[in-house]
A and B are shown apart, each in its own frame.
Chain A
Amino acid sequence: MPKPRQFEKPMGVRDFLPDFVNGKKWVEKQVGACFSSWGYREVITPTLEYFDTVGTASAIEEQKLFKLLDGQGQTLILRPDQTAPIARVISSVMREEPLPIRLSYHAGVFRSQEREAGRNAEFFQSGVELVGDGSPEADAEVVALAVECLQACGVRNIRVAVGHIGLLEALLQEELADREAVTELKKSLGRRNLVQFREKVRASGLPEQSQQRLLSLLSLRGERQVLHRLRDESRGEASAAGCAHLEAMWDALENWGVASYVMLDLSLIGSLDYYTGMYFEGYGADGYYLLSGGRYDRLMDLFGRPAPARGFALKTDRLVMACPERTEPRETVALVYPRRMHREACRQAKDLRRRGNRVTLFIVESGFSSEGLAGFDQVVEVREKDGD
């Protein structure tokens, strides 16, 4: 490997230019306002964590972690997501605070990527975690908040797909005694490979009726009636409980006025072995995947403060692209002055800034191109006044 050239960056990381940074700040401001109005308090956790704590607890696969060694030879990681660090915070430094705890964040996360083509190794997320409170209403709260965040950013065409891993597992187990086979089917759905799912069901040797029931999981998509269909058909206690949970959640979503954005999809599955209950993904605009989240009841266990929990993370980079119509309220002003008028230029600049403008100064004698001024909303020249 030759020495990197001056302009090169490690694979998957990017420079962010002013336009993007503006957009990012704008998005964070919009969603941050939503978070805090729903009672979520912002925290900041370190970029570096121990592999043995946060690294092993994270939903992100080990091969995607950036690892390094500290002076003592301990393996550190760059945080791959924000959920595991927040679980650590709630179980340690916030241990005395009673549950439920609502926290939010805006942070960059790091995931090493094998492939090129638009896959980033560092990207930004804004999100919330609601830890404690196992109710369907609390699950619905974060979904409703997610929708409100997308609305606050002006995203058109919002669609949130909601599944339930616990319910899916129960439905699979009702037909299949073999745990291994259940895991295999979950893996196929996790890879979004419906063809493989069907092949595995057909190769299972199960009675025809069982096979049909498994195959029909793929079409359990839609509105509330999906749950009615399921409730009438389902036989086990676990699936009935999952179904009841989703129904109660749907009621709560209706009360928040967001059910029309939601589509149930019982074959939807997130990171395997991490999510335990409802799981959701948000899409919008001309085909952007904008957020994901769900219920992760096992994570808090790993940090010694067992509690039901759920949250979501917005993909800030994509939100910036999905809502290009941001209003820039502040006018940009170029203030051009001859050197001897510097005092007057300072006075005028202060005045313009106080009125909310963004002011850049140019000295006439230094010489500047007209292109340099082209990007400004307004050009103001400082002239000598009579009697000065």
Chain B
Amino acid sequence: MGIDGRLTVAMPKGRIFRDALNLLGEAGLTLPRELVEDSRKLIVEVPGEDLSFLLVKPVDVPTCVEHGAADLGVVGKDVLLEEERDVYELLDLQISPCRLSLAGTTDWQPVLNPKVATKYPRIANRWFRKQGQQVEVICLNGSVELAPLTGLADRIVDIVSTGRTLRENGLVEMEEITRVTSRLIANRASYHLKSRQIGELYERLAQVVKEEGGLQ
């Protein structure tokens, strides 16, 4: 965490990065040219402003913020739900909308010992328990759509935005678990120790996404 007035923002590489960058631009932040997704530099400072960015994997954004490596972070609600970190969820940035859904092959039939493959084991476990169903959750790190095709699992829980990937792999969306957009999150201590700076940045972003009311 930066000392005194300096704010550090953890940015997720990948799906959300471009949308998040545009949003910061719309909020009137000066963005350095080095702030690109494939930047080799992992810490990018904004010249002339008390602001720097950390470029990390999306799943690491809440961890960085919880432990104070960054004061603020931009991250998808899917990751927040999965990671359950002790952070402030300040603002729905309404970017990169998609949904977390249960999907399976078109001819799916209930099986005796259901298996579900996912990158989101905690979300999947919670959701199935809430439905009163016991399933075995298999954790995969990518190409989750392969699981039903190879018999690794009979269904999957994954992010769906247009549904194209599902269709191309012969899968259909069966149920929506939750809607996902990106959020602005804050470290607990920073929220109080840097309330003025965070409040200002919050207000600039809130204006863009038309959220009324401030934090102070």
Residues on A lying within 8 angstroms of B by beta carbon are: 115, 117-118, 157, 159, 161, 191-196, 198-199, 215-216, 218-219, 221-222, 263, 265, 281, 283-284, 286-289
Contact = CB atoms under 8 A, between A and B. Distances in A.
Interface stretch (B17-25, B31-39, B136-144, B186-194): B186-194
A198 B63 CA distance: 24
Contact of B90 (A194, A221, A289): A194
B134 to A, nearest CB: 20
Interface of B: 1, 3-4, 63, 67-68, 71, 84, 86-92, 183, 187-193, 195, 211-216
B89 A219 contact: no
B88 A281 contact: no
A287 B190 contact: yes
A263 B195 contact: yes
A192 B188 contact: yes
User: Interface majority SS on A: helix, strand, loop or mixed?
Assistant: mixed
A-B pairs with lowest CB-CB distance, top 5: A287-B1, A287-B189, A192-B88, A193-B89, A287-B68
Nearest to B191: A192
Given A117-B67, A219-B216, 11 more contacts: A157-B193, A161-B192, A194-B91, A196-B89, A198-B211, A286-B1, A287-B1, A287-B190, A287-B193, A288-B189, A289-B188
Contact of A118 (B67, B87, B183): B67
Nearest to A117: B63
Contact of B189 (A115, A194, A222, A283): A283
Nearest to A216: B213
Contacts of B190: 287
B193 A159 contact: yes
B192 A219 contact: no
Contact of A263 (B89, B192, B212): B192
A83 B186 CA distance: 29
Nearest to A219: B214
A221 B187 contact: no
Interface centre among B86, B89, B193 (most CB of A within 10 A): B193
Contacts of A198: 92, 211
A121 to B, nearest CB: 16
Nearest to A160: B192
B52 to A, nearest CB: 15
A281 B142 CA distance: 40
17 contacts: A117-B63, A118-B67, A159-B192, A192-B87, A192-B188, A193-B88, A193-B89, A195-B183, A199-B92, A281-B192, A283-B193, A284-B193, A286-B1, A287-B1, A287-B68, A287-B187, A289-B188
A287 B192 CA distance: 9
A281 B68 CA distance: 17
Nearest to B214: A219
Nearest to B2: A286
A286 B69 CA distance: 11
Nearest to A288: B189
Contacts of A222: 216
Contacts of A283: 188-189, 192-193
Given A287-B1, A288-B189, A221 B216 contact: yes
Contacts of B183: 195
A286 B4 CA distance: 8
Among A115, A118, A287, A289, the most chain B Cβ lie within 10 Å of the Cβ of A287
A159 B196 CA distance: 13
B2 to A, nearest CB: 8
A118 B92 CA distance: 28
Contact of A289 (B71, B84, B189, B215): B189
Contacts of A286: 1, 3, 68
Contacts of A219: 213-216
Nearest to A281: B192
Contacts of B68: 286-287
A264 B158 CA distance: 41
Contacts of B189: 283, 287-289
B108 to A, nearest CB: 32
A199 B181 CA distance: 13
A115 B188 CA distance: 18
A264 B68 CA distance: 22
B151 to A, nearest CB: 29
Contact of B213 (A157, A159, A218, A284): A218
A376 to B, nearest CB: 33
A230 to B, nearest CB: 14
Nearest to A284: B193
Contacts of B216: 219, 221-222
